[in-house]
Amino acid sequence: MVTKSDRLNDRELRAWRGFLTMQDDVRRHMNRQLTSEAGISLAEFSILSALRLQPDRPMRVFELVDTLKWEKSRIIHQLSRMVRRGLVERRASEEDGRGTDIALTAEGRGVIDKALPLHIDHIRRLFFDVVTPRQLDMLADLSEAVLENLEGEPFDQ
C-alpha cells in the first residue's frame, strides 16, 4: 500500500524534478543536433525513421499512429508539413477507399539515411555513454510499468 500525502517527499521530488528536466533537455538537444547536422526536426526524424523501418512499402497513417504512439491529429499535421517540404508523399490507398498511403520521397530517404547514423552517435554521447546497463534495464522496466499503468487511467488515449 502506498502512503498518500498532499506533497512529494524528498526522494520523490528529486527523482521527479530530475526526470522532467532531463527529459526536456534531452529533447532540446536532439532537436538541435538534428536541425544543425541533418536539417530536420526531431518530429520529422521520428516519422522518417518509422517509414524507414518498412523500406519497401508505404505505410498507412494508422500504422504510423501505432508505431509512434502519437495522437492521430499530431501525425496528420506533421505529415502535411512534411508533404509541403517534399519529404513524404500521400497516395490514395488501394485496399481501403478511406485510407492514405504514406511513402518516403527520394529526398526523404536521402535525408533519413544521412540523419540516422549521426543521430545515433549523438544519443550515444548524450545518453548511453553515461548510463549503465543496469540503469538501462531499470529504465526500460520503469517505462513499461508506467505505460501499462497509463492505459487504465482517465485522460487516456
Q: Which does 76 bind (CB under 5 to 8 A by kind): its own copies, DNA, none?
A: DNA
Place of cell 518498412: 54
Choose one: 31-39, 57-65, 89-97, 101-109; the region binding its own copies (CB under 8 A): 31-39
23 in contact with DNA (CB under 7 A): no
**Contact by Cβ (8 Å): 49, 112:** yes
Which residues is 102 bridged to in the sheet?
Answer: 59, 90
Looking at residues 91 to 120 of the shown chain, list those that interact with DNA (rule: CB under 7 A): 93, 96-100
Task: Quickly count: other Cβ atoms within 10 Å of residue 9's Cβ.
Answer: 9
Q: Which does 18 bind (CB under 5 to 8 A by kind): DNA, its own copies, none?
A: its own copies
Looking at residues 58 to 77 of the shown chain, list those that interact with its own copies (rule: CB under 8 A): 69-71
- Cα–Cα distance for residue pair 6/101, rounded to 1 Å: 49
126 in contact with its own copies (CB under 8 A): yes
Task: Give the 3-state secondary structure of 62-87.
Answer: HHHHHHHCCCHHHHHHHHHHHHHCCC
Residues that bind its own copies in the complex, under the rule CB under 8 A: 2, 4, 6-8, 11-12, 14-16, 18-19, 21-26, 28-29, 32-33, 36, 69-71, 117, 120-121, 123-131, 133-150, 153-156
